[in-house]
Amino acid sequence: MYDIVIIGSGITGSSIARQLSKYKLRIAVIDKASELPAGASRANSSMIHGGFDDKPGTMKAKFCVPGNKLWHRLKDTLDVHLDECGSYVCAFNDDEVRHLEVLLQQGKANGSPGVEIISGDKMREKEPNVSPGIVAALWSPEAGIINNFEAVNAMIESAQINGAELHLETVATGLITEGGNVRGVSTSKGDFLAPIVINAGGVHSGEIASWAGDTSFRIIPTKGEYFLLDRSTGGTITSFLFSCPSKAGKGVTVLRTAEGNLMAGPTATEQLDPEDRSTTPEGLAEVLKGARRLVPNFPVNMNITTFAGVRANTESGDFEISALKTPRGFVNVAGIKSPGFTSAPAIAEYIAELLQEEFADLATFAPNEKFIPEHRNIPRFLYMDMAGRKALAENDPAYAQIVCRCETVTEGQVLEAIRRGARTVSAVKMMTRAGTGRCQGGFCCPRVAEILSRELGIPLDQITRHGGESRLLVGKTKEFLLKGAV
Amino acid sequence: MSERIDVLIIGAGPAGVAAGIGARREGAERVVVLERDWDLGGILQQCIHPGFGLRTFKEELTGPEYMHRFIQQAHEAGVEFRTNTMVFQIDRENNTVWTMNKERGIEALNPSAIVLTMGCRERPLGAIRIPGTRPAGIYTAGTAQRFVNMEGYMPGKRAVILGSGDIGLIMARRMIWEGASVEGVYEVMSWPGGLRRNIAQCLDDYGIPFHLKTTVTRIHGQDRLEGVTVAQVDDYMTPIAGTERYVECDTLLLAIGLIPENELSRMAGVDIHPVTGGPVVNDLLQTSNPAIFAAGNVVIVYDLVDNVSDEGLIAGANAAKFAAGKITSAMRIPVKGGENVRLYSPQFVTGEADSTIFMRVTHPVETACRVFAVTDDGTELYSQRLRYARPGEMNEVRIKADKVKASPNISNITIDIQPV
Amino acid sequence: MSEERKFICVSCPLGCGLTVTLDDAGEVVSVEGNTCARGASYARSEVKDPRRVFASTVRVKGGKLPVCPVRSKTPAPKGKLFDITRAVAALEVEAPVKIGQVLIHNVCGTDADIVASRDLEAV
């Protein structure tokens, strides 16, 4: 029996879980994934938006600027990489310059600090590799780029430290109600009973809402494809570059990730399947074209991977956040897409207030005096000074053993990730960056798999890439021959 | 100050072990080879097939056998090895080498000379941007080789191989010999990436189809790979509509090229050649940092391990000379590649000793041709007739030191291969 | 009727294209395309008694690695290679293993021995 069950542990669900763990509540977060982040929080532009892009009066406008401010604080509290690099919206012609004016006014109305329009030449003083065709740009100094893998894991770990439970590989299958009241969620791992259920189901949030009889909105799964380049390309630009948006989305952006990789994307392709994260020739071509428009010498030959995410677009274009009248206790935090990552901590604060206003009779919101706001990330050997590295290695020799040579990740970090719940190769990757570098796990994947096998006491051929049936290996050598399976 | 080391060698693969031998034979007192693995020998320990060392030992050895002989020689020569020791940083100001080891912790070494012998790595899937999903079951051929030959595990039962580099061809046969099936080898170019004998003995012997000008255009499967779409490509390597075909498989092995591994070289501030991807070196195998030498696949990807060992011996010997103050000269006469030269190394010739320039052609020449080196004043330094020249097979240009010394005014040397 | 057979020499990395002419009795009349004596003898062997060096691993108990690389010391008849894969698969040896150590004599009735191709210490 819980007070609150949260479906989905993306940035929205995990931020809400952490915020609610400031109260003495029994909280369960369930997610069908084997590792975090999984859905839209895993594959996106990892942008902390400045807050000029959203129409005043919308939910997005309401949460984006406050969310941005919260992240600038949370980055230290949660120990998450946030590159406070600012962003540019680039205009190539008069029409686009007029669009910058609109954005500037929106930014001012939304309270986005420091937004201004600068000339293309002024922009090129700071970003010499951008197109000479850019005539003006909207500069947003408060925008930033976050390490989204770290952010989601930090958020959910912080919630767990403060008492929330995380249940992975737990598929929500239905809502349990009784007499117009929520009683819990049925899942692949049994019923999770609670009087309050929060739908933070991302691309599945429309379907989950329909369990509660709410069909007022529909999720339009929208694929975004990306290129990720070698870290040595990070000097090409130092901030986040937007194209002027079109109806389809914000247009292709080029950015330098918090870890220093050049990245470009996304596309915005509507599709029926919320789980189709395959890249396409058309999508990749579109991204490349858009990237080259912003950065003519975009060094695509240094590409190390392509990927796609599916975001939860809505017909209204806005977030769908509401507490239903019936069944009572059901709360939608649905349709969270860009600027969802930015907004998440602000949405979480809002939800905590909303629950106390609406459902004070369903749960007791007594402050958790033992709440620990601080979270420490797994030590990041790559970024430490030599004295720090030596101290770490002296304390634990596992930190004197490199596992991933591209990103200088030590065995100590991998062991710590496993201690914090990593069960798959890609969970280790997202928690430590082992395998995110230029060889894309060619060197470290077997080593990470061996460590997982050893630490978890699971045979090597049962270790998966990302859960489910994604086993890395199919058996031992000689087995096919001895079984006569030629 | 840290302990005294005359020559420090990074990596105990074929180049590093030979460099150790070369340095000791040249008289360096303390020669230390660092190896990140528990075992010496580098990648050759997983190359368990025969085909190594015919030139050096007059017989074809397996990778482990080849390394066994060199490691014995190194021990006899008094080379010191430190295993489980990884170099993770080189400071360019003072050539300090930072190492880590579970027993010794983190240490700084300040050798008189350094030899870079880190080898190369495989191009990953991302380098060729194939659309589709990202399931388990996609490996570079070398990663799969490690699983099969060192760990004793099978990556899959039914493989497709993309690219026809030698490791891919060797792995095709290796999978067959473990009872798996190989659906085909697909090569985007119109010529094979690996040796013709490997196509004969690894593919033809087992009836594995080999498709030139064909590539994988899509990856299918959510958790585990379920299949790939393959298609023929035109002369611009663009897939030809209508030629797509679905091939069911649970494993995709990539043999799409090797890249010299130079992260440490970059940290050390040595100049990297934009085409080879390895350090710019002269024929002493000295980099732009005079105290740092480099040899083997870290410089340029060789076809034959015999060449890697030879270059290791040269680099080790010259590093020893440098440590003893016997050589200082950095780069000297620049070498230029002619029309049909894709890449070559070394890029400078000093004339202090006879040297070999290794090169690859851009386009195959299937008729009689000539590989040559000529100076800017028209002096021919080398000329050799060939029956053919192919991108997959390196060519050698041998330069005699006395010929270079005899023309003191040359300002550059051009190498090329042209039909005769 | 004489017969002509074409194949690639696998004796060395050069990979010469060989053409072997056989007479009615199946005897080699001529070998062309080779650039060395090894090529000529390979060509003769390939048409009469094709052989390959076999290389694989065997399972090891108590070794530093779970498998040890092995090879046929000499080339084995090509037609027996699949029998050899199964014979080698069935074998499990105890560490330590010494390079050159004979693990199977005259494997599958051929005249080839299966030998270890590296030293493998016990743990």
pLDDT at residue number B162: 98
B406 pLDDT above the threshold of 90: no
> Is CATH 3.50.50.60 the right assignment for the domain spanning B125-256?
yes
Q: Which ranges of A266-311 would DSSP assign to H, the alpha helix?
A: 281-294
In this structure, the strands spanning B181-186 and B210-211 are parallel
pLDDT at residue C69 in the model? 98
Provide the ipTM: 0.96
* A485 belongs to a structural domain: no
Q: Tell me what pLDDT residue A248 has.
A: 54
B278 pLDDT exceeds 90?
yes
Whether residue A49 lies in the annotated active site: yes
Asked whether the predicted pLDDT for residue A153 surpasses 70, the reply is yes
At residue A481, the pLDDT reads 93
Cβ within 8 Å of residue B76, ≥6 positions away: none
What pLDDT score was predicted for residue A484? 62
- Taking any CB pair shorter than 8 Å as contact, residues of chain B touching chain C are 38-39, 45, 48-51, 54, 60, 62, 64-65, 68, 148-152, 174, 177-179, 195-197, 199-201, 204-205, 303-304, 393
Give the start-to-end residue ranges of the domains of chain B: 1-121+258-331, 125-256, 332-420
Using an 8 Å CB-CB cutoff, list chain C residues near A481: 85-86, 89
Phi, psi dihedral angles at B30 (to 5 degrees): -105, 110
CATH superfamily of C55-116: CPE0013-like (3.10.530.10)
List beta partners, residue B259: B121
**Res. A247 pLDDT band, cuts 50 70 90:** low
Q: Cβ contact (<8 Å) for A473 and B178? A: no
Q: Which of A49, A81, A204, A375 is catalytic?
A: A49
CATH class of B1-121+258-331: alpha beta
Q: Distances in Å between the alpha carbon of A389 and those of A382, A412, B2, B106, B142?
A: 9, 11, 18, 8, 31
Closest-CA residue in chain B for A478?
Answer: B178
Every domain of chain C and the residues it spans: 3-48, 55-116
Closest partner residue to B136 (CB to CB) among A232, A438, A470 is A470
Quote the domain boundaries for residue A369: 1-81+146-218+315-374
Put simply, the answer to whether B68 touches C55 (Cβ < 8 Å) is no
Distance from CA of C19 to the nearest CA of B (A): 14
Residues C22 and C18: their CA atoms lie apart, in Å, by 13
Q: CA–CA distance from B5 to each of A403, A444, B97, C70 (Å)?
A: 27, 30, 11, 38
Q: Which residues of B touch C119 (CB under 8 A)?
A: 68
Sequence-ordered strand ranges (E) for B181-257 = 181-186, 210-211, 214-220, 227-232, 245-248, 251-254
Structural domains in chain A (count): 3
Dist CA A365 CA A363 (whole Å): 6
Say yes or no to pLDDT of A249 above 60. Answer: no
Q: Using CB atoms, list chains with 3+ pairs below 8 Å to chain A.
A: B, C
Task: Determine the pLDDT at residue A245.
Answer: 76
Query: What confidence score (pLDDT) does residue B372 get?
Result: 97
Say yes or no: A195 and A296 in one domain: no
* A210 shares a domain with A195: yes
Per-residue tokens: B308: 């890697």
The reply to whether CATH 2.60.40 applies to domain B332-420 is yes
Q: What's residue B408's pLDDT? A: 80
| Model confidence at B407: pLDDT above 90 | no
Q: Chain C window 99-118: which residues touch B at a Cβ cutoff of 8 Å?
A: 99, 117-118
What lies within 8 Å, CB to CB, of C74 at 6+ separation is C53, C111, C112, C113
Shared-domain flag, residues A391 and A458: yes
Mean pLDDT, to the nearest integer, of A181-196?
Answer: 98
Please give, rounded to a whole number of angstroms, the shortest distance from the CA of B351 to a CA of chain A.
Answer: 36
Which residues of chain A make contact with C89, given a CB cutoff of 8 A?
A: 477-478, 481-482
Question: Which H/E stretch holds residue B401?
Answer: helix B401-406
Could you tell me which residues come within 8 angstroms of residue C43 by beta carbon, excluding any fewer than 6 positions away?
C9, C18, C20, C28, C31, C34
In C50-123, DSSP assigns E strands to: 51-52, 55-61, 67-72, 76-77, 92-94, 102-104, 114-116
- The residue from A356, A374, A392 where one domain ends is A374
A275, two tokens: 């789980």
Whether residue A137 contacts residue A89, with contact meaning beta carbons closer than 8 Å, is answered with yes
A159 and A190 fall within a common domain? yes
Query: What pLDDT is attached to residue B328?
Result: 80
CATH number of the domain enclosing A446: 1.10.10.1100
Q: How high is the pLDDT of residue A483?
A: 84
How many CB atoms sit inside 10 A of residue B18's CB? 31
Which pLDDT band holds residue C1 (cuts at 50, 70, 90)?
low
* ω into A37 cis (within 30 of 0): yes
End position of a domain, from candidates A265, A294, A309: A309
What is the arithmetic mean of pLDDT over A263-288? 95
Task: Select from B57, B65, B394 the residue whose CB has the most chain C CBs within 10 Å, as the one to mutate to test that interface.
Answer: B65
For residue B409, the model assigns a pLDDT of: 85
Q: CATH number for the domain including A243?
A: 3.30.9.10
A212 and A290 belong to one structural domain: no
* Cβ contact A481–C57 (<8 Å): no
**Min Cα separation A275/chain C (Å):** 39
Nearest Cα of chain A lies from the Cα of C23 at a distance, in angstroms, of 37
pLDDT band of B212, cuts 50, 70, 90: very high
The reported pLDDT for the residue numbered A486 is 43
A206 with A271, same domain: the answer is no
Please say if the pLDDT value at position B8 is more than 70. yes
Provide, as residue numbers in chain B, all residues whose Cβ is less than 8 Å from the Cβ of A465.
135-136, 223
Instruction: Return the CATH architecture of domain C3-48.
Output: Single Sheet (2.20)
pLDDT of residue B341: 97
Is A425 domain-assigned? yes
- Residues with Cβ within 8 Å of A265's Cβ and at least 6 positions away in sequence, in order, are A45, A224, A225, A226, A227, A252, A253, A287
- Cα–Cα dist B359/A418, whole Å: 47
**In the numeric block, which tokens belong to residue B82?**
């430190």
Read off the pLDDT band of A305 (50, 70, 90).
Answer: very high
**What value does the mean pLDDT of chain A take?**
96
Q: In chain B, what residues touch C9 (CB-CB under 8 Å)?
A: 197
| pLDDT level of residue B113 (50, 70, 90 thresholds) | very high
Q: What is the DSSP letter of B326?
A: S
* pLDDT given at position C89: 97
Mean pLDDT along residues A7-29: 98
Compute the nearest-CA separation of A482 from chain C (Å): 7
Residues B315 and B13: their CA atoms lie apart, in Å, by 14
Digit-coded pLDDT (tens) for A398-414: 999 999 999 999 999 99
Show residues of chain C in contact with B204, CB under 8 Å: 7-8
pLDDT of B114 over the 90 cut: yes
Tokens standing for residue B87: 């170099």
Q: Tell me: the pLDDT tens digits for C37-84? A: 999 999 999 999 999 999 999 999 999 999 999 999 999 999 999 999
Query: Which of B250, B314, B325, B245 minimizes the C-alpha distance to B286?
Result: B314
Given a cut of 60, whether residue B234 has pLDDT beyond it is: yes
pLDDT of C7-20, one tens digit each?
999 999 889 999 99
Rounded to an integer, the average pLDDT of A314-343 is 96
DSSP state of A367: B
Query: CA nearest A485 in C: which residue?
Result: C86
pLDDT value of position B331 = 81
Asked whether residue A33 falls in the same domain as residue A56, the answer is yes
Q: Are residues A324 and A446 in the same domain?
A: no
Which residue's entry shows tokens 């050159």? C100
Question: Do A162 and A74 belong to one domain?
Answer: yes
Same-domain pairing of A72 and A111: no
Least CB–CB distance from C90: residue in A477, A482, A486? A482
**Matching fold, domains B1-121+258-331 and B125-256:** yes
Q: Which of B133, B120, B249 is nearest to B185 (CA)?
A: B249
Does any CB of chain B come closer than 8 Å to the CB of residue C9? yes
Taking only the tens place, the pLDDT of each residue in A374-401 is 999 999 999 999 999 999 999 999 999 9
Between helix A425-432 and helix A148-161 the angle, nearest 10°, is 100
Q: Are B81 and B33 in contact (CB under 8 A)?
A: yes
A22 is a domain residue: yes
Q: Could you write out the three-class secondary structure of A409-423?
A: EEHHHHHHHHHCCCC
**Buried/exposed B85-116: b ≥16 CB within 10 Å, e otherwise:** bbbbbbeeeebbbbbbbeeebbbebbbbbbbb
The sign of the CA dihedral A69, A71, A76, A81 is negative
Q: If you average pLDDT over every residue of chain B, what do you get?
A: 95
Are A403 and A409 within 8 A, CB to CB?
Answer: yes
CATH of the domain at A158: 3.50.50.60
Q: What is the average pLDDT across A448-472?
A: 97
